Structure 1
Amino acid sequence: MNEVMARLRQFRDDRDWKQFHNPKDLSMALSIEAAELLELFLWKSPEQADTNKVKEELADVIAYALLLADHYDLDIEKIVIDKIALNEQKYPVSKAKGKATKYTEL
């Protein structure tokens, strides 16, 4: 992950784009890229989506998420592990296994 972050920062800094990478704009870019990812599946079955395009759009989503986390100096591994722990409480196996129900309705 360190190499990925170093490459993202270098790419951004070489172009003097850090000035545009505030949390609001990074969040908006992330949302836009996520919508572009969704568009690849629109009116298709999941199997019909072009895997190479999915790869590209997913990379954009991940890159903007990483840059946003970097802006706030967040530890990606820690925040994901913490979120999994929270979800384990909200979705105990005994109630959630095999169900797509929201935790408030379990």
Structure 2
Amino acid sequence: MNSIDRVNQFRDERNWRQFHNEKDLALSITLEASELLEVFQWKTAEEGIKDIEQIKDELADVLIYSYMLADNLNLDIDELIERKLIKNNEKYPVAKSKDKKDKYTEL
């Protein structure tokens, strides 16, 4: 059983599908991402990564809601990532962007 099937099984056993519309899933992604940010609030990056268990949990929540949203919209996660990497490669060619943090509009 793959990840989305396991997530859907968990959801369906609890009859939560009724609460997982696209708007609420998008909101949940943002809320969980904020909880991930809280791990680092008022800390250096090095201090933040010391709480790796909380990072794992919050990142998993972001990913679970992201997978659920993609599944609701019949979107293939691997295809989405491949498509975005192609776009990013065009916006950030190695020759212009290597060792730089500039936005593509500034390259």
TM-score if structure 1 supplies the norm length? Answer: 0.96
Residue identity opposite 1:63 in structure 2: I
Q: Deviations over 1:77-104 (max 9, x none)?
A: 0110110000000001111111111101
| Aligned-pair CA distance for 1:105 | 0.9
C-alpha distance in 1, partners of 2:47/2:106?
Answer: 33
**Residue 66 in 1 paired to residue 96 in 2?**
no
Residue identity opposite 2:86 in structure 1: A
Residue identity opposite 1:44 in structure 2: K
Residue identity opposite 2:101 in structure 1: A
C-alpha distance in 1, partners of 2:47/2:69?
Answer: 31
| Aligned-pair CA distance for 1:45 | 1.3
C-alpha distance in 2, partners of 1:101/1:17?
Answer: 42
C-alpha distance in 1, partners of 2:46/2:103?
Answer: 26
| Aligned-pair CA distance for 1:46 | 1.6
Runs of 4+ in 1 over 6 A off after TM superposition: none
Report the counterpart of residue 31 of structure 1 in structure 2: 30
What does 1:24-103 correspond to in 2, within 5 Å? 24-49=23-48, 50-103=51-104
Structure 2 spans left out of the alignment, 5+ residues: none
Report the counterpart of residue 19 of structure 2 in structure 1: 20
Structure 1 spans left out of the alignment, 5+ residues: none
Percent identity over the alignment is 50
TM-score if structure 2 supplies the norm length? Answer: 0.95
* RMSD (CA atoms): 0.8
